Structure formats: structure tokens, C-alpha cells
Structure 1
Amino acid sequence: MSAHSRPLRILGTGVSTPARWIDSAELDTRFGLAPGTMRARTGVTRRGLEPTRNAAEVSAEAATAALRAAGLRTDDLDALICANASHDQAMPCNAALLHRELGMHRVPAFDINASCIGFLAALDLIGSLLASGRYRRVLLSSCDLASRALDPGDPDTFGLFGDGAAAAVLDAGDDDDERRPALLAARFETWSDAVHACEIPGGGSRLTPARYVGDYRDVCTFRMDGKRLYRTAALHFDRFVAELLDEAGVGLAQIRRVVPHQASRLGMEHIFKRLGLPRDRIEDIFAEHGNQVSASLPTALHHALSEGRLERGDIALLLGTAAGVTLGGAVLRI
């Protein structure tokens, strides 16, 4: 077992079902594009949309499904953690809002924000909390309603992203077998020279409505320089993955399945090419969901687990990039 290893078992996962699916043909009509244009531009066939529910409500659906899959109730939890990139309001934290939606009492609730790879950052922290005995059982949820911050006049971003939530119930397991479920390694690197390549400038104390001259909606809209993001991540990707696998004490041949953040068609193609693995060993749900921001990777993980592509004892490589720019990865023995 790797020196970086910590016991971590997935007891159950769940995802939300969007209130509505929007297919690319509908967006072609909306933007006055020739049939097939949106699918060709983005690689997305359909994406989920939540017109009315807030993130806490959508998260509650995924969390309830994860608890059901684990055969547990909220009373069985020691902590609730939300790892969203965006939030229902500036304060309190979204975990507290989800806590109320689930009807919980006393159990501590707090947020972790690492943008698109919040779920990975939370796994790393939870692994340490479980290993130390601080908590026994944790509910982790990631949710983003990307549609709320998109420019409705920009077909490229509006067609790329989808709304959704995913959740997992985690514990340290109850056996001492060397092959027990574990977080074998986790690694993160931030390259902040590209910090403004992906952002929503408003909503914080730097740009308040009183300090901004103009239409405040302009700075509350998602902005992305996709090419710069890609270049920054691609520059470090090969070394990053090699060092992560080395820390985990495994080789790529031992990886049963790669579960990446479903960032974009270009990003997925880069992973296929750089890892050199058969495509059927890489979880790819991008065309059917789009980029769900923080919910993207855990949604892909849920599908891999619930549909039998990952089973007990398998080793999974989880990878993602996020605003910042941050690279993140984890090696899990399921």
C-alpha cells in the first residue's frame, strides 16, 4: 500500500435528474444556426437545465439518492460537505442550505470550493478526516447550475454547459485488508499565471454593485479563455499524471478506468491522446451531459459505478482541471 494511502470507501452515490433536457437541435433553432451546428461546435448532444430549482434543492435530490444507495439516513452521518463551484447566495455556505433541505440537525456542514475539481479536493480532505478518526461517515455533494451565469447570447458557452448535482456517502471501511477500498494518492497543482482565464468577476467583495460602474450583470457572467486554459493544463499534464501514479504506487496498466472532469470535447480528446488508453477505459459522458462544472466528475463516477464499469477492488484514476488554473487528481481503489 502506498505511503500516501488513506482508507476511503464509497458506500453509495446518486445524481439529480434535471427538470428539463435541452438538445442541440433546440439551441440551433434558438440561435438561428443551421441544423447540426451546435452539436458540431460543442460536441454536446443534450444538457440538463434547472429553470426554477436552486442548488440546495437539486443537491438534496442527489444526496437523497446517494443515501438510499448506501442504505443510510441523515442521522447516520457525521458531516455534510458541499464542493460546489457556485452557490445559491454569498452566505451562509451551501452545505448549510442543503442541510436544511435534508432536514438535518446538529451534524456539521461546510463548503469546499475548488471550482470544477471541488469533488476531488473534498475527497482528499475527507480521506484525512476519516483516517484521523475525526469523522466516521460523510456525505459529499457537488452541484452547479451553470446556466444561471452564462451569457444567453453566446452559443459556444451556452451550448457547452449543463446543470446538475452528484453526491457520495463515504466512510473508512471496516476491515484491515491491504486490498481495502482506499484513496491511494491525491495531488493538486495551481498555476495562477492563468488565474483570470476562467472566472465570474462579480459577486465578491472586490467588485460589489456599489463599486462597479455599469451593468452589474456584465461581471456576474461567466467568462472563459478556453485556449489559454487548455494550454496551461496541457503543458503540465503528462508530468502531473506520472507523479500522481508514482505516489499511488501503481502504473497506468493497473488502472481499470479513468474518470475525468468532462470539461470539453477538446479536453476529452487530449486525455484520450495523452494517456494512450483505449477509449472504452475512459468514462465519457460529455455528449449527454455537457460540462456540469463541479458536478461533472462525480456524475461520471456515479455512472461508472452504477453501470458496473467500476467494481470492488478496481483502481480508478480521477483527473480534472479547474479555474485557477488548478490540476487535480486522485487514485482510488474502489
Structure 2
Amino acid sequence: MTGISILGTGRYLPDRVVSNEEFTAFIETSDEWISTRTGISKRHFADGETTWRMGAYAAQAALDKAGVKAEEIDLIIGTTVTADYQTPSMACVVQHAIGASHAYCFDINAACSGFVYALDLARNQLVCGGAKTALVVSSEMLSRLTDFADRTTCVLFGDGAGACVVRAEEKRYASCLGSDGSGYGLIFCKNPPPASPFSAMPEELNDISSTDIKPGHLWQNGREVYKFATKTMPEAVHNACVKAGVKEEDLAYIIPHQANARIVQAAMKNIGMPMEKAWLTIAHTGNTSSASIPIALDELAESGKLKRGDLLCAVGFGAGLTYGAAVFEW
């Protein structure tokens, strides 16, 4: 079973830290209301950074820890739902910023599952010989999509980036990826095309939800997303473990998407594992979409609690609806 070796991880969190109390200046809320319902105490917001710049900082940190030169990178996969440009890809801009001139680059949008999808794509390219060394960069600026008049969602999100350098190695690895497009309207951000003198606005852009959501603002049906996440995350972890030939109790840590502490608690209960085995950063990062797992992985790597050979499982869910889990050896 050809798996992966993560040579180095990196993260970037903007200096601007926003506490729960700061939201009370413009919406009806409190630190207790936010923290008890989400597990979030503070989050980082970009203050002049771009999405690609945050990704480049995280990428360089991962390269430094891996002891790998940028010129050695053959492939860069970027994940983001908040790209600075419609085109080119974030990955291409990061490539230029870090000097990885030999890499081929592209972005994917699997929302909050993006890192797991990208890690699996990188592994496949490494195994088939398309690349020898890959860089996965997940960078998100959800403050760019946040409706700060919506008290139920604006307190959830944060900005940041995470990255890892990956090579193929004979290690245990398995993944479980999936999507349920019937739930496409449960988490969304409208991006209507500009007015054209030659064509009408597509009516289908208006039937995604009965709610009056402003274009460019992220909206979600929290109750239905909770149901989806607490069902699919345990199933994805179980299926990935079965494919890897291990049991859930063999995992040293689960690194979940940091969406909501209550979701993680319910999912861990459904998996049958104690919360001590879930590595959480949400209290100080909030929900950073696809960047949340690599940010958490980097913090876990720096914690000193991992040893080589430990089995880890990264698991996420997000808009689409998408979900995915990957079991790999540290």
C-alpha cells in the first residue's frame, strides 16, 4: 500500500485577533452565547493580507520545516473558496511567490473538505509518477464572505492558511471521499454574473434558497448542516479505516474540520472515540474552511505529542455538500 510521507507542515494566522466581545458592539450577542454554542473564543481576521499571500506564508513555513527547496516542488494544489482572482489560480500565484518554478499548479473548490480532497489528489499524482514532491496549500479569508449583520453566522468564521509538503512512501494510507449535491443549497454564497446587454440573469441563481441572501455573503442552514456533518463524518472515518485495514481505536488523533465544537463532539461520540483524540483549534481560530485541518495538523505537529508511525485521520465536510476522510501514518 503506497501511502504518503508528510515532510513538513506550516500555517499562517493574521495578527489581527477578534474576540467574541468585539461582536457585541454591532450585534446582539455575548461571549457566553458564542462560546457555549460554537466553542469559539476568538478568531483571526486578515488586515491587509490577500488569500494567496497567507497561503504563501504557510507554504514557506512548510518548506522550511521539511528542509525542501521550492525548486524541488513538482506539484502545487491550492484549496480555497475565497480566491483573490477568478483566474489565475491561487496555486499559480503562490508558486511565483515562493519560487517553485518547476511545479504545475491548480486550485480545487471542495469547500471545507478541500484539504482532504487535495491531499488525496496529491497522493494519487505522487503514486502514479506525475510528481515526486507535492505541496498542498489551503488558504481562506472567510471574513471576505461574512455578513456581519447575521448574528448566527458572522461569529463563526476566521481567516488563515495551512500547508504541507508531501512525498510518496510505503506507508499505510486510505481515503473516503463523497458528495451529496442534493444539499447544494444548505451552504452557499451567490456569485451572480455581471449584467449583460445580451442575456438575462439566470433564474436558477434565485431558486437555491427561499431566503433573501445578499450576493457575496455566505449563508448556511445550521440545523441541516449539523445533521449532515454528524452523520457523514463518522461514516467517512469508518470507511477510510476499513480501507486502511485498521480500527478507529488504532488512530492516535482525529483532525476534524473546525466548524463547531458541538459538531465535533457529536461526531466523536458517533465514532465511539473520546474527545481527547480530537485535535481542536477552533477556540482560537474559528472556522477557517479548508484551511482548518492543515492549521490544526501543524499545531499538532508542533505540540510534541506525535511520534513517527502514529495513525492520523483528517476528516472534513462542507458546501456541496462534500465530505472526506484520509487515514495516514505520521
TM value normalised by structure 1: 0.89
Cα offset, 1:267, TM superposition? 1.2
**Which residue, out of 303, 328, 331, partners 2:327?**
331
2:58 paired residue number: 62
Cα offset, 1:155, TM superposition? 2.4
Q: What are the equivalent positions in structure 2 for 1:151-230 lying under 5 Å apart?
A: 151-173=147-169, 180-182=170-172, 184-202=173-191, 207-210=192-195, 211=201, 218-230=214-226
Q: Which amino acid aligns with 1:122?
A: A
* Residue 68 of structure 2 is aligned to residue 72 of structure 1: yes
* 3-state DSSP of counterpart to 1:209: coil
Q: Which amino acid aligns with 2:269?
A: K
Cα offset, 1:17, TM superposition? 2.8
In 2, distance between residues paired with 1:296 and 1:8? 20
In 2, distance between residues paired with 1:181 and 1:96? 30
* 3-state DSSP of counterpart to 1:188: strand
For structure 2, which runs of at least 5 residues remain unmatched after alignment? 196-200, 204-211
8 Å CA contact 2:255, 2:293 repeated in 1: yes
* Residue 32 of structure 2 is aligned to residue 36 of structure 1: yes
8 Å CA contact 1:166, 1:298 repeated in 2: yes
What do the CA deviations read for 1:136-185 (whole angstroms, capped 9, x no partner)? 11111000000000101122211111100001011124xxxxxx544x11
2:109 paired residue number: 113
Cα offset, 1:212, TM superposition? 7.8
Cα offset, 1:9, TM superposition? 0.5
1:176 paired residue number: none
8 Å CA contact 2:13, 2:159 repeated in 1: no
Q: Which amino acid aligns with 1:195?
A: Y
2:206 paired residue number: none
8 Å CA contact 2:253, 2:311 repeated in 1: yes
**Which residue, out of 246, 249, 252, partners 2:245?**
249
* 3-state DSSP of counterpart to 2:215: helix
Cα offset, 1:325, TM superposition? 1.1
Q: Which amino acid aligns with 2:186?
A: A
In 1, distance between residues paired with 2:213 and 2:187? 17
* 3-state DSSP of counterpart to 2:296: helix
2:271 paired residue number: 275
Number of residue pairs matched?
317
Q: Which amino acid aligns with 1:327?
A: Y
What do the CA deviations read for 1:9-62 (whole angstroms, capped 9, x no partner)? 001000003131111122223425455333334321010100211111111111
Q: Which amino acid aligns with 1:100?
A: H
What do the CA deviations read for 1:182-219 (whole angstroms, capped 9, x no partner)? 4x1111121121111001121xxxx2121389xx9921
Identity %: 30
In 2, distance between residues paired with 1:288 and 1:60? 21
Deviates more, 1:39-48 or 1:108-117: 39-48
Distance 1:107 1:242, change over 3 A: closer
2:85 paired residue number: 89
CA RMSD of superposed structures (Å): 2.0
* 3-state DSSP of counterpart to 2:237: helix
What do the CA deviations read for 1:104-148 (whole angstroms, capped 9, x no partner)? 424211112211111111111111111122211111100000000
8 Å CA contact 2:21, 2:30 repeated in 1: no
Q: Which amino acid aligns with 2:285?
A: H
Q: Which amino acid aligns with 1:200?
A: C
Q: Which amino acid aligns with 2:56?
A: A
Distance 1:313 1:212, change over 3 A: same
Q: What are the equivalent positions in structure 2 for 1:42-53 lying under 5 Å apart?
A: 42-53=38-49
* Residue 290 of structure 2 is aligned to residue 294 of structure 1: yes
* 3-state DSSP of counterpart to 1:284: coil
What do the CA deviations read for 1:50-83 (whole angstroms, capped 9, x no partner)? 0211111111111111011011221121111112
8 Å CA contact 2:7, 2:165 repeated in 1: yes
In 2, distance between residues paired with 1:69 and 1:241? 28
TM value normalised by structure 2: 0.90
Q: Which amino acid aligns with 2:193?
A: T
In 2, distance between residues paired with 1:64 and 1:188? 28
1:261 paired residue number: 257
Cα offset, 1:241, TM superposition? 3.1
For structure 1, which runs of at least 5 residues remain unmatched after alignment? 174-179
